[in-house]
Amino acid sequence: MAVQLKSGEEIEKMRVAGRLAAEVLDFIAPYVKPGIATAELDRLCHNYMVEYQRTIPAPLNYAPPGYVPFPKSICTSVNHVVCHGVPGEKKLKSGDIVNLDITVIKDGYHGDTSRMFFVAQPSIQAKRLCEVTFECMWRGIETVSPGARLGDIGHAIQVYAERQGYSVVREFCGHGIGTKFHEEPQVLHYGYPGTGLELRAGMTFTVEPMINAGKADIRQLADGWTIVTKDHSLSAQWEHTILVTETGYEVLTVSPGAPRRRTEAAHTPSGIAT
């Protein structure tokens, strides 16, 4: 399948969808605290999307080939869950870290983003993993410009993660996005510079590295969706939807509460929920 270059009108719709996805994370941040069940986080987000934003939660009943329909409106990945965690009745406890992954559909276009949240006081190890993963995402994003290659993104992420003593999950990657949840190209979070597809203005895709504190090996749980680290080590992920512009890149999943890098703000990136 060919990569779809977005028109000016399509890009504006992607901006709206991206902003709305990020605003769901702003909305839910105060609720991420000890004692709340991930199913309740899902319910709150679902209602906010459907009733307030008038958006469609893209994950709900999403069923790519080989998968059963995803049963919830958001993904909640706690501690050693790498991605696609299914919300349930288990309650968050102090010291947990959790990734909330939000994708909304507005006027036929998708906005996709995720953030890490601390539940009360995280361990030093957990906090460092979240911060390094956030930096990995940004180092990948900063390579984006017309004429750059997909391998440049993956290389920047892999080099930084491995220098910090962490590993990069290889079975899952970023993806093109637009009127479809998952389009071409696939955006690997490892690789070699100067390799892969050449980036062109009008491309939209996600950068969403999954970084493990231990080994990169993963396994799937019996629900058919939840992915965990094989060695039970902590895992973290951050995600933005990116537009390749004529001169560089634009982050489409921005909102007032979206965490910024240390060079832009004094707070740490994952210090948005306690």
Query: pLDDT tens digit string along 242-251?
Result: 999 999 999 9
Using the predicted structure, report yes or no on whether residue 264 has a pLDDT greater than 60: no
Distance CA 262, CA 123 (A): 20
65 token code pair: 């080939």
For the chain, the helix, strand and coil percentages under 3-state DSSP, each to the nearest 5: 25, 25, 50
Task: Categorize the per-residue pLDDT at 267 as very low, low, confident or very high, splitting at 50, 70 and 90.
Answer: very low
Element (H, E) at 186: strand 183-187
Using the predicted structure, report yes or no on whether residue 274 has a pLDDT greater than 70: no
Q: Which residues pair with 97 in a beta bridge?
A: 118
Q: Which residues pair with 167 in a beta bridge?
A: 212
| Helical ranges in the chain per DSSP H | 8-28, 38-47, 124-141, 150-163
Q: Give me the percent of the chain exceeding a pLDDT of 70.
A: 95
Task: Categorize the per-residue pLDDT at 266 as very low, low, confident or very high, splitting at 50, 70 and 90.
Answer: very low
| Helical ranges in 142-231 per DSSP H | 150-163
Task: Categorize the per-residue pLDDT at 1 as very low, low, confident or very high, splitting at 50, 70 and 90.
Answer: low
- As a whole number, mean pLDDT of residues 139-156 equals 98
Distance CA 164, CA 158 (A): 10
- As a whole number, mean pLDDT of residues 52-81 equals 97
Using the predicted structure, report yes or no on whether residue 265 has a pLDDT greater than 50: no
What is the pLDDT of the chain when averaged over all its residues? 95
Amino acid at 160: Y
Query: pLDDT tens digit string along 179-191?
Result: 999 999 999 999 9
Say how many C-beta atoms besides its own lie within 10 A of residue 9's C-beta: 8
The answer to whether 14 and 206 have CB atoms below 8 angstroms apart is no
The answer to whether 16 and 108 have CB atoms below 8 angstroms apart is no
Task: Categorize the per-residue pLDDT at 2 as very low, low, confident or very high, splitting at 50, 70 and 90.
Answer: confident
Using the predicted structure, report yes or no on whether residue 272 has a pLDDT greater than 70: no
Domains and their CATH numbers in the chain: 8-251 (3.90.230.10)
Q: Is 124 helix (H, G, I), strand (E, B) or coil?
A: helix
Using the predicted structure, report yes or no on whether residue 46 has a pLDDT greater than 50: yes
Say how many C-beta atoms besides its own lie within 10 A of residue 214's C-beta: 16
- As a whole number, mean pLDDT of residues 13-18 equals 98
Q: Give me the percent of the chain exceeding a pLDDT of 90.
A: 93
267, with CB counted inside 10 A (0-12, 13-18, 19+), is exposed
